[in-house]
């Protein structure tokens, strides 16, 4: 899909459309992974996967959210050097407000007044050396967000030390604790290192990667494969009903860490990994 834009309001409309597409259409790589799991699964998990795939089909046909929990919207915006982010931020907020009035569920609650305030997008800006803008959007529900977690190594309770074997133990503990509460089969974003906040953010960004991509770092690629293999042996299965597929994919990254700090973060996504992007250059917007 291509949009021609002439002013700020056109960009705002395109971002509303991005919110709509993201809420009602799963990326093809996620659908393909679910179909592959459905073909190999049996029992209650297969029945549930049948229902999930039917749900995905109906949501797209009727342009309604795949899941009623549509937020909060999580944006990562890449922009060319020298551009200001102030106007981009205000446009995203306005687009989110409009999308909330039309089809997104109002998921933001003021913790002081306990009043619903609609939706407040989380926006992260990153300058790059390319000549176009890219808006990555993820709609991540509370179920999967609640079971996302962070560990500090060494962890004596798990017998996990500052090595890949320790990271594997943390990953399996996180998945085991999540059980069916994260709406599996899930996708697990992992970050090794960083600070408390940078580590969690990087783990969440890993969920923008395609299910079938290959990590260029051979050690991280091996870790991804090991985690998914061992996690699926837990037989938690779809919706916690038991089965062969507890995770569909694992995506890992690493950040430099302080010598005295060893954080390992896990951002869990349910099967409804709702992520899409749009690119904007010289008045033309393209959706992925």
How high is the pLDDT of residue 113? 97
Average pLDDT, the chain: 95
pLDDT for 257 beyond 80? yes
The closest alpha carbon to 60, from 103, 20, 95, belongs to 20
pLDDT for 282 beyond 90? no
* DSSP codes of every residue in 117-141: EE---EEEEEEESSSSEEEEEEE--
Mean pLDDT of 87-108: 96
| C-alpha–C-alpha distance, residues 95 and 82, integer Å | 23
How high is the pLDDT of residue 285? 83
pTM for the full predicted model:
0.95
| C-alpha–C-alpha distance, residues 119 and 25, integer Å | 20
The closest alpha carbon to 194, from 260, 148, 255, belongs to 255
Mean pLDDT of 255-280: 97
The torsion angles phi and psi of 161, rounded to 5 degrees, stand at: -115, 180
pLDDT for 261 beyond 80? yes
Long-range contacts for 43-47 (Cβ within 8 Å, ≥24 apart)? Answer: 43/241, 43/242, 43/243, 44/237, 44/238, 44/241, 44/242, 44/243, 45/237, 45/238, 45/239, 45/241, 45/242, 45/243, 45/244, 45/245, 46/243
- Residue 129 CA, chain-centre distance (Å), reads 25
pLDDT for 1 beyond 60? no
How high is the pLDDT of residue 286? 84
How high is the pLDDT of residue 5? 57
Q: How confident is the model at residue 10 (pLDDT cuts 50, 70, 90)?
A: confident
Q: How confident is the model at residue 288 (pLDDT cuts 50, 70, 90)?
A: confident
Higher local confidence (pLDDT), 274 or 286: 274
Q: How confident is the model at residue 106 (pLDDT cuts 50, 70, 90)?
A: very high
Cα Rg, the chain, nearest whole Å = 19
| C-alpha–C-alpha distance, residues 22 and 257, integer Å | 34
Mean pLDDT of 49-70: 97
The closest alpha carbon to 175, from 114, 121, 240, 225, belongs to 240
| C-alpha–C-alpha distance, residues 188 and 271, integer Å | 10
Angle CA 248–211–247, to nearest 5: 10
* DSSP codes of every residue in 236-283: --GGGS--S-SEEEEEEEEE---TT--EEEEEEE-S--EEEEEEEETT
Mean pLDDT of 219-225: 98
How high is the pLDDT of residue 81? 92
Mean pLDDT of 242-258: 98
């Amino acid at each position: 899909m291509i949009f021609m834009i002439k002013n700020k309001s056109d960009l705002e409309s395109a971002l509303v459309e991005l919110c709509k597409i993201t809420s009602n259409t799963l990326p093809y790589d996620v659908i393909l992974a679910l179909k592959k799991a459905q073909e190999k699964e049996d029992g209650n998990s297969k029945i549930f996967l049948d229902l999930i795939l039917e749900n995905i089909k109906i949501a797209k046909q009727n342009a309604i959210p795949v899941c009623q929990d549509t937020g909060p919207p999580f944006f990562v915006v890449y922009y060319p050097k020298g551009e200001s982010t102030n106007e981009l931020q205000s446009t995203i907020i306005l687009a989110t407000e409009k999308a909330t009035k039309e089809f997104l569920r109002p998921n933001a609650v003021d913790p002081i007044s306990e009043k619903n305030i609609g939706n407040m997008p989380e926006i992260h800006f990153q300058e790059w050396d390319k000549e176009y803008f890219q808006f990555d959007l993820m709609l991540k529900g509370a179920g999967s967000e609640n079971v996302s977690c962070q560990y500090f190594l060494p962890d004596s309770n798990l017998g996990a030390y500052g090595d890949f074997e320790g990271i594997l133990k943390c990953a399996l503990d996180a998945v085991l604790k999540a059980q069916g509460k994260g709406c599996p089969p899930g996708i697990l974003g992992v970050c090794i290192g960083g600070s408390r906040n940078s580590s969690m953010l990087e783990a969440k960004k890993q969920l923008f990667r395609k299910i079938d991509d290959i990590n260029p770092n051979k050690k991280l690629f091996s870790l991804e494969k090991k985690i998914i293999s061992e996690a699926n042996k837990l037989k938690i299965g779809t919706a916690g009903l038991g089965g062969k597929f507890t995770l569909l994919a694992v995506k890992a990254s690493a950040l430099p860490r302080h010598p005295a700090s060893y954080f390992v973060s896990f951002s869990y996504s349910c099967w409804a990994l709702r992520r899409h992007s749009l690119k904007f250059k010289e008045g033309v917007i393209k959706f992925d």
